[in-house]
Structure 1
Amino acid sequence: MDFKIREDRNGKGRRLTREREAYFQLMRQGYSSREACRVVGINLRTGKRWRNGWHSPPTGKPKPPIYVEASASGLSRYLREEDRIYIADRLREKASIRTIAAELGRSPSTISREIRRNGMPLRGDHNRWAYRPHAAQRRAEQRRPRPKAGKIGQNPELREFIQHSLTLRWSPEQICHALRARFPDRPEMHVVHETIYQALYVQGRGELRRELTKALRTGRARRRLHRQSYKRQPRSIPNMVMISDRPAEAADRAVPGHWEGDLIIGKDGRSAIGTLVERTTRYVMLAHLPTDHNAASTRDALVESVKTLPPHLRRSLTWDQGSEMASHQAFTIATDIPVYFCNPASPWQRGSNENTNGLLRQYFPKGTDLSAHSSERLNAVAAELNGRPRKTLGWETPAERLSKLLAATRQ
């Protein structure tokens, strides 16, 4: 490109007209915004404001994006008015969608979507459809400005349903599938889970209350990158039987009765709650450990929890190499449930339990005293988790799936 950056930039309020034109020309040629800014010699934020506008300037009203007409000789990202005129002419000649797309160098879906979105019924008759290029151009220009009101903000019924479900600690993905199940014939009530996250985290849209982020599993007020998982040092437990020796039926989750377990630890490591998750149904049981979580206390609490299970639901228990399970042999003698241990630093080997422990942190946050919770409270939390629809169960609840298995066993 034959372009030289202007050296005189000291004039107050001077508009960088040539730089702006060169920037947009580079963007049309396929350069990234960062590369175009580097070539022209402007700040990356300046190029962003030229493209998207300035929504929160220090003074004055928000600045709209700078409109630059695409070159007629090049292929624009958006359909131009001459493209729409060509589409209208070829439609009158009975040309197919694919033929028009090939002639314009566009995808057939682009042409089909353009006709569907910007066409209109002829004289009010929905059986006769017309495509008028100039009216289509006006419609496209009216839809283009940003920002737009989101789907959740436009629909009070949808917003109320989502907010109520969030207060029940449902995840956005669970809410989306519940909406499709409850309103199958109402597409205006259907959203994807990213729409809910955007309504929570992108403020200024006024769609969902900011405090509802506390009901999410992470409870974060803003999004963060994933951190590297914590690696624990392996512990020596006598007579361990490793997960490689576990029956194959436990790995494929085809047979119920195989459990995964762990502890969630409270403030200063002084209190804990034992968690048990059935691999096939994801059914949750919680063990009360109000005073300590040494090997003897953990063994007794787990024995108390599993003694209510029928024999065919006592097949195995998978645990990590925590010292709290040092009395695993005594637990097996008392319950007839063999215990298998995961490899060091391999939390994915008991993934259902890791996922459940994350869900439980919504009820029992890190750094709190877990001994303050009674057995009745633990049972209520387990019942609420077992009543949540789960994606991995085809959006059934763990309680529903377990009751089906028990009913099939009685027959």
Structure 2
Amino acid sequence: MTRSHRNEDRGGEHRWTFNGVEYPTRKLMCEARRAEYVRLLDEEGMNFTQAAHAVGVSKRTGKAWRNGRTRATGRNEKPLVDWYRSTMDKPKTLHPRYLSQEERIQIADRLRLGDSIRAIARLLGRDPGTVSREVERNRNPESGGYEPYRAQQKAADRLKRPKPRKAAEGTRLWDEIAAGLRRHWSPEQIANRLRLDFPDNGDMHASVETIYQAIYLQARGELKQELKRAMRQGRTARRPQGGQGRKPRFREPMAMISERPPEIEDRAVPGHWEGDLITGSRNKSAIGTLVERTTRFTILLHLPDGHDAEHVQQAIICVLASWRPLCERCFSAV
């Protein structure tokens, strides 16, 4: 067991000793003690009580090091050790939609004063559900209280971070996925088969998305081409999965009927046309119509190859090119 104590030399100066090492100030000695406490937890696998006794402090002091403490004045002090994120990098600047350390301190203070969740949410300008989830998710399971600095560390620990791919090349899981693809199984079949063949081995389970990423993002060179050829669809690139939004039907922005000029609405000026489709059973066939609003002159569009935007556009161009002389005579008689 390591020990720390204070020695007084002949000159009257104090020397602080911990673990056989002398430190010129008590502050440096305490920092070394806390660093050793974290090392025992992280590397030696000791529990909180064992690590605290090993560095010569009580279990309660170790808890205050990890979670911070609240003074009698109500002031919250941050933790002195970074145990909850000891194996991770410090988080980068977060988006404002995430709760900050200051907001978590306000939540703790207001909860101590007895404010409701909705009152705290109004004070912070947040949704009540955000505050409620924060308190329930990051509450200390031992004491049942909400500790803001501990909550900040727990929230940071759950942030997304670079992690090694589960189905990396050379692993047994990757070999099973590749074998399934060579049998022309779909990723859904492979995922279900892995759960049946390895029911008690979570390392051999892979979601459909994990399998797709292993095929399209991870494989390189000839192996990548081989796996793509093994896919049922035979695609060499993956289709976009959401985030694209609905594509417009027309290349140019549509003009709403309600926005057309008054001279078109009252049919006073010839030369304005309306287009429409007359569709058949189950929309399998259609005939296009073009009606001039003033003279009611009607042109029918033949659409044998389909009635999507491109086919209708091409039919309008062709028929108006051939009917233009007749249309001009009709309009001149108005």
TM-score range, shorter chain: 0.3 to 0.5
Q: Which has the larger radius of gyration?
A: 2
Name the TM-score, length of structure 2 as normaliser: 0.32
TM-score normalised by L of structure 1: 0.27
